[in-house]
Structure 1
Amino acid sequence: MTSQEIFAQIEKKSSFLCIGLDPDPRRIPKHLLKEEDPVFTFNKAIIDNTIDQAVAYKPNLAFYEAMGPSGLETLAKTLEYLPKEVFTIADAKRGDIGNTSRLYAKAFFEQMNFDAITVAPYMGEDSVGPFLEFDGKWVILLALTSNQGSQDFQLIENNAHQPLFASVLEKSQKWGTSENMMYVVGATRGESIAEVRKLVPDHFLLVPGVGAQGGSLEEVAKYGMNKQCGLLVNSSRGIIYASSEKDFGEAAKREALALQESMSKLLDTYCN
């Protein structure tokens, strides 16, 4: 999928919403537990109720791997159920070298047919390069994340007073392009998004942290949007767990619609 194809979906839906499909069997509505595959039934209802608002879906692999082989079967069914025009992201945060990275890439891009995968940059170019060898696929490199512990390393400055995340952004542009590489930038970082955008003006940013983590959608758009939107803003818990009752699908739709309506206005403000 090209950046133009992603942007076409953004324009069509007036939305840059990515929904995290992170199903915890302990949190899904209790009435689903009688189903043969409760998590797939849950995912299916979330997709059915939010497909008009979401341009991307992002399953976090941990939630599926924790269920063992049956969880990976559920993930495969979920991916098969998703419409082909939506952008699919494996939130797997892989990061190894050589043949190991190459096999990870084959697993996620050839076997599971994801459009993108999150990758940790710590081990350098030879850990990221194998993922970039697949045409039409994307690496989403961790740059400036929204978790509290991100300050442990990502904000450490080098001798030129440049924070580590900025070094990652600058160095990695020699590995990939704005047509096969995106960056994870947390919404809770506010004005730091402006600094990121100066360094990578044309790349898409995957932005978690809006909703349950308290990030501001308006700030993300103000500091991060470019002429092609350039943003995929993720919401997980705020949408998929909007209700624990039988109306969970409708509740998810209400939350997604509220975000989409805000995104539509921001697109008109900053992207036209």
Structure 2
Amino acid sequence: MTLDQLENQIRSKGTFLCVGLDTDLEKIPGHLLQQPDPIFAFNKAIIDATAPYCVAYKPNTAFFEAYGVKGWEALERTVVYLNQNYPDHLIIADAKRGDIGNTSTRYAKAFFEEIPCDALTIAPYMGRDSVEPFLEFEGKYAVLLALTSNPGAFDFQTLPIAGQQQLYLEVLEKTQQYKNADRLMYVVGATKAEFLTDIRKVVPEAFLLIPGVGAQGGSLEEVCRYGMNKRVGLLINSSRGIIYASQGADFAQRAGQEAATLQAQMNKMLN
């Protein structure tokens, strides 16, 4: 998927919503546990109910890896289902990978070819040779952690470098010099919306993946005010607020309703 295609989807559907698939067997409706693959059964129902209101899905691989081989099989089935039935939706594997070059290449092959996602979250701490292998795949994107939504983000990400600018801004500036940097997106937590003005000075054109709206307390209005660019440039992720809106038989319907509510709010901001 090209960024032009992503922008066209956003404008035609009036939404820049990304639905996070953090599928926890301890939280899904009990009747699904009788299914041969309860993780996939849950994901499929959520996807079918929310697809009209979003442009992306973000399966968090930790929630699949926790169940071993069965979890990986459920992840693969989920990605295949999306590619076959909703090919216009961006698929972001939230795996937070990043290692020395050859290892990064293998991670990239795993998520871009074997389990064919469109994008993958990356930790940039090991530097250029740990990131650039992910940028060698045309039509695929690395989503770098820049300024995350968790409280611990302030432990390192906002520390000044040699008494000058903060570390997260250094990450943004440095990575813009990498080969195929136009294939980079960045994670910026919605709870850090006040930082978006400075972030946009460094990466005015990049797409930002914004978690933290909803359950974590981030403000959609503030994120849009400070983070939206001329091509929208935002993917707002909501996970728990949508997929666990109900734990009853109506879980998919309620998820669809929550997604529709966010879509309506986003549509107003696009017009």
- TM-score (ref. length: structure 2): 0.97
Same amino acid, percent of matched pairs:
59
Out of 113, 131, 135, the residue aligned to residue 134 of structure 2 is 131
User: Could you tell me whether the CA contact under 8 Å between 1:50 and 1:252 is conserved in 2?
Assistant: yes
1:240-265 per-residue CA deviation (whole Å, 9 max, x = no partner) reads: 00000000001001110110000001
Whether 2:49 is the aligned partner of 1:49: answer yes
Q: CA shift at 1:177, angstroms?
A: 5.1
User: Could you tell me whether the CA contact under 8 Å between 1:207 and 1:231 is conserved in 2?
Assistant: yes
Whether 2:212 is the aligned partner of 1:209: answer yes
Partner of 1:37: 37
What CA RMSD, in Å, does the superposition of the two structures yield over aligned residues? 0.9
User: Residue type of the partner of 1:227?
Assistant: K
What is the CA–CA distance in structure 1 between the aligned matches of 2:179 and 2:249, rounded to whole Å?
A: 45
Partner of 1:146: 149
Partner of 1:170: 173
Partner of 1:5: 5
Partner of 1:183: 186
Q: Secondary structure of the equivalent of 2:55?
A: strand
What is the CA–CA distance in structure 2 between the aligned matches of 1:198 and 1:58, rounded to whole Å?
A: 27
What is the CA–CA distance in structure 1 between the aligned matches of 2:162 and 2:270, rounded to whole Å?
A: 39
Partner of 1:256: 259
Matches within 5 A, 1:99-138: 99-138=102-141
Unaligned runs of 5+ in 2: none
User: Could you tell me whether the CA contact under 8 Å between 1:2 and 1:179 is conserved in 2?
Assistant: no
Q: Secondary structure of the equivalent of 1:234?
A: strand
What is the CA–CA distance in structure 1 between the aligned matches of 2:164 and 2:221, rounded to whole Å?
A: 29
Partner of 2:197: 194
Q: CA shift at 1:160, angstroms?
A: 4.8
Aligned residues: 268
What is the CA–CA distance in structure 2 between the aligned matches of 1:198 and 1:88, rounded to whole Å?
A: 27
Moved over 2 A (4+): 176-179
User: Residue type of the partner of 2:191?
Assistant: T
Out of 234, 241, 249, the residue aligned to residue 238 of structure 1 is 241
User: Residue type of the partner of 1:107?
Assistant: A
Partner of 2:70: 70
Unaligned runs of 5+ in 1: none
Q: CA shift at 1:159, angstroms?
A: 2.6
User: Could you tell me whether the CA contact under 8 Å between 1:205 and 1:232 is conserved in 2?
Assistant: yes
1:90-122 per-residue CA deviation (whole Å, 9 max, x = no partner) reads: 100001012101100111111111100000000
- TM-score (ref. length: structure 1): 0.97
What is the CA–CA distance in structure 2 between the aligned matches of 1:236 and 1:172, rounded to whole Å?
A: 28
What is the CA–CA distance in structure 2 between the aligned matches of 1:8 and 1:160, rounded to whole Å?
A: 42
